[in-house]
Amino acid sequence: MEVKAGLGLIGEELEVKRKLCITIGKDGIIESIGGYNECKNYLGGEGLIVIPQPANSHVHSGDNSFPEYGISEGLHELVAYPNGLKHRLFKTLPYQKIVSGIREFYITSYLMGMGLLIDFREGGGVGCLASKEASRGLEDKLKIVTLGRPGPNFPENCDGLGISAPLDYDPDMLKVLIKQQRYSQTHVAEDMENRRKRDLELAIELGFDTLVHGTYLEEQDIVKISDKGVNLVFCPSSNLWHGLRFPPIDLAIKQGITFALGTDNAAWSLPDIYREANIALLYLRSKGLRSDEIAKILLRALFINGYKIVDMTPSTISEGNKAKLLLIDGENSGILRSLNTYSAILKRSQFGFIRYRIDGADVLDVKITKDLNLH
């Protein structure tokens, strides 16, 4: 298969190259990246751009069974364990209903072009099993890392540990679990209450590899995280929805921290990772960070960092990699005419402009979904 594009982001450096012909073998591996003239029988065309599939690095898929519930409630009233609204709702739902809601979220993520989801699942090993059942048929298309929390049958069916806060569990138990699990992630400093209780210091002491939210971290906290080499995942839309402050992405950039982005709870956010990046870009502009290089840093958060924080090889457009591509309408989106390519791709690679999704040797015309045998 040959893919023709007017522009693409190539390699782990996301180098901008124009007039491309990408040859993909029958095994789905990218064999070569050449110029226009090498394409004979091709998919795509000069008006399309080609980009990697992004990672959505923090989601709670189980919430998808009750979208937009409790919109007048605060964060703790909605999600605090065990009496938050979502946990009370989980108790009322049959297991298969939860699986069905998760599957719908996964299919939506697939159609929106996601290549990786890092999913925090409630309910111990049973919650992770629901994720595995919901992902059947998608395994070769959408990578899903399922992180569970202590509960029934944990860690069966879980890929690692993902908890609400280190303050919610016995530290000695967490220390043992962190050593046993391949991945260990926790929310920290999501609100001022937990930050005052020094949840960051506890998380670092216990050895978590990735911290999520960090909404109320200050510069000295970011320095501490940088010194420890710990990853950060920011979820701007979720923090704003819950009436919290904007996460300190500018401080993370200043300290050179590897960070990724996530959409958080499926109940209140679609898995539109580009929206997160756009909101982050607006915030950074308000802080005086306005170069095209800032947009590139945010694109790295999507295409590179999200994969690396779970020890996966990024799905970059590189010879020898499996083809995990999105073809975007570069004409109607305006990307091909832009003078600032990274900013244009970040702001304009929206769901409505996705034309094709390529997973190895498989091609999906995103505009024609009725033939999808995923439901």
For residue 36, the model assigns a pLDDT of 87
Residue ranges, comma separated, of all CATH 2.30.40.10 domains in the chain are 2-52+316-365
For residue 374, the model assigns a pLDDT of 58
**130, containing H or E segment:** helix 124-134
DSSP-assigned beta bridge partners for residue 60: 265
Question: What does each C-alpha distance from 163 to 30, 147, 208, 294, 367 come to in angstroms?
Answer: 37, 8, 10, 31, 37
**Two tokens at 309?**
């924080």
The C-alpha torsion from 236 through 356 and 31 to 321, rounded to 10°, is 30
Phi, psi of 314 (to 5 degrees): -55, 145
Q: How many other C-beta atoms lie within 10 A of the C-beta of residue 37? A: 8
How many residues can be counted in the chain?
Answer: 375
For residue 375, the model assigns a pLDDT of 53
For residue 126, the model assigns a pLDDT of 97
Q: How far apart are CA 315 and CA 304, in angstroms?
A: 8
For residue 343, the model assigns a pLDDT of 98
From the number of C-beta atoms within 10 Å of its C-beta (0-12, 13-18, 19+), residue 11 rates as middle
Question: CA 233, 197, 204 angle in degrees (round to 5)?
Answer: 45
Phi, psi of 79 (to 5 degrees): -125, -10
Question: Domain 55-308 belongs to what architecture?
Answer: Alpha-Beta Barrel (3.20)
Residue ranges, comma separated, of all CATH 3.20.20.140 domains in the chain are 55-308
Q: What one-character DSSP code corresponds to residue 233?
A: E
CATH 3.20.10.10 fits 2-52+316-365, yes or no: no
Q: How far apart are CA 52 and CA 150, in angstroms?
A: 34
For residue 138, the model assigns a pLDDT of 94
Tell me the mean pLDDT per 10 residues along the chain, length 375. Answer: 97 98 97 93 96 98 95 91 89 95 97 97 97 95 97 97 96 97 98 96 98 97 95 97 96 94 97 97 97 97 98 97 98 97 97 96 84 54
**Two tokens at 134?**
């919901």
